[in-house]
Amino acid sequence: MKNRFLTILTLALVVTFASCKDKAQEAETTEAAEAAEVTEVSTKYLVDTDASTIMWKGFKPTGSHTGTIQLESGVFTMNGDAIESGSFLVDMTSLNVTDIPEEEEDHGKLTGHLKSPDFFDVETFPASAFEVTGFTSENGKMMLSGNLKMKDVENNISIPVTITENNDSVTITSETFTVDRSKWNIKYGSKSFFDDLGDKFINDDMELQITITANKA
């Protein structure tokens, strides 16, 4: 019995360690900043929402869940090879779980819970938003900064991106990064707000990877 308990404990620790080890770097997060301005020499692009997606991953001690969220709309401008300005709306009602088959009861339960006031409260806040505030090159990487608004909280984040141009279309692809959900007042199961959770907590770090394809207006 003792050996069985030790085996289970070891497996749990391995899963937890692997989940933490594999997570991407947290995006630099600061107070909201002033939005970037458009210049006369910039080129305008409209986001193709069908060709764009946001992938997410959430962690807990026993494993993780994955899913997608769709963009509702978006527009940005380019000045040469640089992103100059832009704003994007995220359709939070499209939040979906991908690691549990849709026909299983747990798929609907988890999707509904994530959409509830415990997490993103999509009935009250059906959209999140990202507004570009800057674009720089740091250590050989292009860094896109912007104000990310989720629920009623707005913070500025900086994330590494790659830009691919193909005739009249542009694709912005982020590296996988994490945001700390507690900074957007998403409290459920968070050790940042509750100290009596034991091993029933959910990690504050939420992993994201974003691909946005847009066409010249």
- What is the pTM assigned to this prediction? 0.85
Specify the CATH number of the domain 2-216: 2.40.128.110
Q: Is the dihedral of CA 212, 179, 101, 18 positive or negative?
A: positive
The yes-or-no verdict on residue 6 having pLDDT over 80 is: no
All structural domains of the chain with their residue ranges: 2-216
Q: Across all residues in the chain, what is the average pLDDT?
A: 88
Judge contact between 170 and 211, C-beta under 8 A: no
Element (H, E) at 114: helix 105-115
Please state the rounded mean pLDDT for residues 129-146: 94
The yes-or-no verdict on residue 10 having pLDDT over 70 is: no
Predicted pLDDT of residue 23: 62
CB burial class (10 A; 0-12, 13-18, 19+) of residue 55? middle
Q: Strand 205-216 vs strand 43-47: parallel, antiparallel, or unpaired?
A: antiparallel
The yes-or-no verdict on residue 107 having pLDDT over 60 is: yes
CB burial class (10 A; 0-12, 13-18, 19+) of residue 120? buried
pLDDT band at 22 (very low <50, low <70, confident <90, very high): low
Predicted pLDDT of residue 217: 93
For residue 86, what are the contacts with CB-CB under 8 A and spacing of at least 6?
36, 74, 75, 76, 77, 131, 132, 146
For residue 184, what are the contacts with CB-CB under 8 A and spacing of at least 6?
148, 150, 151, 153, 155
Predicted pLDDT of residue 138: 86
149: nearest Cα among 133, 137, 136: 133
Predicted pLDDT of residue 53: 95
Q: Give the type of residue at 215.
A: N
CB burial class (10 A; 0-12, 13-18, 19+) of residue 200? exposed
The yes-or-no verdict on residue 18 having pLDDT over 60 is: no
Q: What is the pLDDT of residues 141-163, one digit of tens each?
A: 999 999 999 999 999 999 999 99
Please state the rounded mean pLDDT for residues 115-135: 97
